[in-house]
Amino acid sequence: MYRLHAVMVLLTAGIFAVSGCATRSMRLGKCEVKKHNRGIIMIGFQIHIAAAVCLALLLLYGCTNQAEQNTAAPAFRPYSENASAFLNALKTAWVAVYPTIVRTFEGTSYSVQSQQQIVSILNQERITTALAQPGTLVPGEQVSNIQWDIFQSDMHAIAEQLKDRKSDAQYSLVMEFLVAQGVGGIHCYIFDRNGENAFSFLLNAHHKLLADANLGAGDSSEASRLNMIEKATSVGVTALIQQINKPEDLHSSKQKEYSITSRNVSTSDRKVERIFALARLQEQLSYVFMHSFKHSLASAFESNGVDAIIKVAPRESDTTAKYASEIDAFAPDAIMYIDLDPLYRTHRDGHEAIVGIDFGVKLINRASGDLEWIANGKVDYIAGRFFKRSGYSAHEGIRKEFAWTTTAAIVRAFTADVNGQKSAPIYIVTEDRQMHGQRTD
């Protein structure tokens, strides 16, 4: 088994520096669609060279690093409030299946063969009524060398396209393969009629189901490629059926103030005692929230025995390259990326206001470059106040509460999942923080 740690270091320290901002690393040029035999539709487009190398090395790592620590879980499925409705409706619902997206460092192709295979299995196993949907769905730009980022970006891009399409089906499904020398990652996106995530998931070499399938291409022949696509499709559908039959028990917590779903991607039992956290937020959150979040996060980690450095940067900034020297000097066990977006709601009078926070977190093992832990959630508890009062705005005190609540959600879940212990108290109301000596600035 190969451990390509040097590759991951190169990806983090070198390629991002060459390509500039990761969010701009892949650009789609003018596309030309051509039909080929055996149900493969190819799309050609221009790829920024740094992004091509980045994707190639990422997927090479995913395929060759047959994880010593595989999880028996069929896949990782982030929390969706629409999952229960999907499971309840599945037997009587119609599911539109689109051609499978095949991403390589050379470009993107679409497999009709895989689409037809998905439809056939779902119908034969009487999982649902599936039908092949004509047309293709275009994935998003490659925003990162981390699979989770690709998954989220493509989910958003596909959801936006589905919102503009009319279909009689209650649900839409499209599978995606990340391919280098073999299939290193599988994504399955499932959306409801409104383009909302219903039951989407991903799997990679950390999942035993994929690791045991040996999804290498074998050789460069078309027959070998088609066989690889067929096997990958079977793995993806098997993961879907296993989750439908026995929905995964994710680490989920729904409090009055927030909801969060988290998952240990690695099965390592080591404790993380030093973290370099990079919080990336939208400009709208720079007022009050940024300051309060930074200091509350640092103190929350400290109270749980974790030495942490917290840096805050604009949402789309190249934080890895900017702080590379500080990361080296601090020598953390892990790097935590926290992406923060304002949660907006529109009042019936047309007024739009920030009423909470959407956040996503990933923890990366600094030594190996492996993704260790992932979480996503939202702070959303003042909708009643907002809808009752015209002209509402999130004043300074409320924004501080948003920051403290986001801190509590992240640190409580991290402490329980990764370090296996109950979190020390983290208070989210000004009076309680003052009473227990926690900062209120």
pLDDT given at position 167: 82
Cα–Cα dist 144/318, whole Å: 10
Question: Among 35-49, 82-96, 341-355, which stretch is predicted with the lowest mean pLDDT?
Answer: 35-49
Cα–Cα dist 345/357, whole Å: 11
What percentage of the chain has pLDDT greater than the value 70? 78
Flag whether pLDDT at 201 surpasses 80.
yes
Q: Return the amino acid letter for 301.
A: F
Flag whether pLDDT at 233 surpasses 80.
yes
Give backbone dihedrals phi and psi of 59, rounded to 5 degrees, phi first. Answer: -75, -30
Looking at the fold, whether 236 and 291 belong to one and the same domain comes out as no
Looking at the fold, whether 385 and 414 belong to one and the same domain comes out as yes
Q: What's the pLDDT tens digit per position in 38-50?
A: 344 443 333 343 4
Give backbone dihedrals phi and psi of 122, rounded to 5 degrees, phi first. Answer: -60, -40
Q: Looking at residues 214-229, what average pLDDT do you find?
A: 86
pLDDT given at position 216: 82
pLDDT given at position 397: 76
If pLDDT is split at 50, 70 and 90, which confidence band does 3 have?
very low
Q: Return the amino acid letter for 412.
A: R
If pLDDT is split at 50, 70 and 90, which confidence band does 61 have?
very low
Flag whether pLDDT at 34 surpasses 70.
no
Flag whether pLDDT at 163 surpasses 60.
yes
Looking at the fold, whether 217 and 265 belong to one and the same domain comes out as no
Looking at the fold, whether 269 and 230 belong to one and the same domain comes out as no
Contact between 305 and 333 under an 8 Å Cβ cutoff? The reply is no
pLDDT given at position 346: 75
Looking at the fold, whether 69 and 185 belong to one and the same domain comes out as yes
If one compares 221 and 92, the residue with the highest pLDDT of the two is 92
Looking at the fold, whether 20 and 59 belong to one and the same domain comes out as yes
With CA atoms as reference, report the closest residue to 99 among 42, 165, 184: 42
Average pLDDT, the chain: 80
Cα–Cα distances (Å) from 318 to 7, 81, 277, 278, 323, in that order, read: 19, 32, 14, 10, 9
pLDDT given at position 326: 93
Contact between 405 and 379 under an 8 Å Cβ cutoff? The reply is yes
Q: What's the pLDDT tens digit per position in 378-422?
A: 888 776 666 666 667 777 778 889 999 999 999 999 999 999 999
Looking at the fold, whether 364 and 258 belong to one and the same domain comes out as yes
Looking at the fold, whether 281 and 397 belong to one and the same domain comes out as yes
* Domain span holding position 403: 252-435
pLDDT given at position 386: 67
Q: Which parts of 90-135 are beta strand (E)?
A: 94-97, 100-104, 107-111, 129-132
| pTM, entire model | 0.57
pLDDT given at position 207: 87
How many angstroms from the chain centroid is the CA of residue 426? 26
Alpha-carbon dihedral of residues 311, 53, 202, 320, nearest 10 degrees?
0
Residue 441 forms part of a structural domain: no
Looking at the fold, whether 16 and 92 belong to one and the same domain comes out as yes
Beta bridge partners of 94: 129
435 CB burial (10 A radius; 0-12, 13-18, 19+): exposed
Q: Positive or negative, the Cα torsion across 152, 179, 204, 118? A: positive
Residues 6+ apart with CB under 8 A from 372: 264, 265, 266, 268, 272, 334, 363, 364, 365, 418
Looking at the structure of the chain, the number of domains it has is 2
Helices (H), 309-395: 319-322, 324-330, 383-388
Residue 213 forms part of a structural domain: yes
Looking at the fold, whether 209 and 286 belong to one and the same domain comes out as no
Last residue of a domain, one of 228, 245, 262: 245
Last residue of a domain, one of 186, 218, 245: 245
Flag whether pLDDT at 250 surpasses 70.
no
Residue 51 forms part of a structural domain: yes
Q: What's the pLDDT tens digit per position in 320-338?
A: 678 889 999 999 999 999 9
If one compares 9 and 98, the residue with the highest pLDDT of the two is 98
Contact between 317 and 21 under an 8 Å Cβ cutoff? The reply is yes
Number of H helices, E strands in the chain: 14, 16
Looking at the fold, whether 303 and 205 belong to one and the same domain comes out as no
Question: Among 60-69, 94-103, 135-144, 420-429, which stretch is predicted with the lowest mean pLDDT?
Answer: 60-69
With CA atoms as reference, report the closest residue to 308 among 324, 294, 291, 319: 294
Q: What share of the chain is helix, strand, coil (3-state, %, to 5)?
A: 35, 25, 35
Looking at the fold, whether 162 and 263 belong to one and the same domain comes out as no
Last residue of a domain, one of 218, 245, 272: 245
128 sits in the region (left: phi over 0; alpha: psi -120 to 50; else beta) called beta
If pLDDT is split at 50, 70 and 90, which confidence band does 308 have?
very high
Contact between 436 and 427 under an 8 Å Cβ cutoff? The reply is yes
CATH of the domain at 407: 3.40.50
Flag whether pLDDT at 301 surpasses 70.
yes
Residue 440 forms part of a structural domain: no
Residue 169 forms part of a structural domain: yes
With CA atoms as reference, report the closest residue to 408 among 184, 210, 201, 255: 255
Cα–Cα dist 333/73, whole Å: 25
Cα–Cα dist 353/121, whole Å: 46
Flag whether pLDDT at 69 surpasses 60.
no
pLDDT given at position 285: 84
* Mutual angle of helices 289-303 and 396-417, in 10-degree steps: 30
